[in-house]
Amino acid sequence: MALLERLAVLRDADEGVDSIGLFTFIAALRELNDGAVTLSSIHSFFNLDAGEQSELGWLIGKAQALPTDEEKTAFLDFIQRIFILAEARAQNYTTNQSLVDRINSQYP
């Protein structure tokens, strides 16, 4: 999942992968939730390829499955927290699979 790698900065810049600013990404998702931006504009803004768009759909689907705005906000807070740990290379947050597993463990 390249989107997760870009958010977590799991690859070095010399590998030709642009990271995505975590706070900017979370802000975009919050604006999407409020109806202020479109999914298409997020795709364009972050220059997401087809695979990354699919990954974004996976994350958004997890949020949309939650019944209340409070739970959706908690989900975004959770995503922000785990990606901050990933950026810092915290143990158990250093691979794409560990991030997917962590997300799925909290939000199956």
Give me the pLDDT at residue 30, please: 93
Helix (H, G, I), strand (E, B) or coil at 86: helix
pTM of the model: 0.86
Q: Note down the domain range covering 29.
A: 2-106
Number of domains in the chain: 1
CB atoms within 10 A of CB 63: 19
Handedness of CA 63, 86, 81, 98 (dihedral sign): positive
Reported as a pLDDT band with limits 50, 70 and 90, residue 98 is very high
Reported as a pLDDT band with limits 50, 70 and 90, residue 68 is very high
Q: What is the pLDDT of residues 5-62, one digit of tens each?
A: 888 887 655 566 688 999 999 999 999 999 999 999 999 999 999 999 999 999 999 9
Handedness of CA 85, 108, 54, 67 (dihedral sign): negative
Give me the pLDDT at residue 16, please: 61
Region 88-99: what's the mean pLDDT?
91
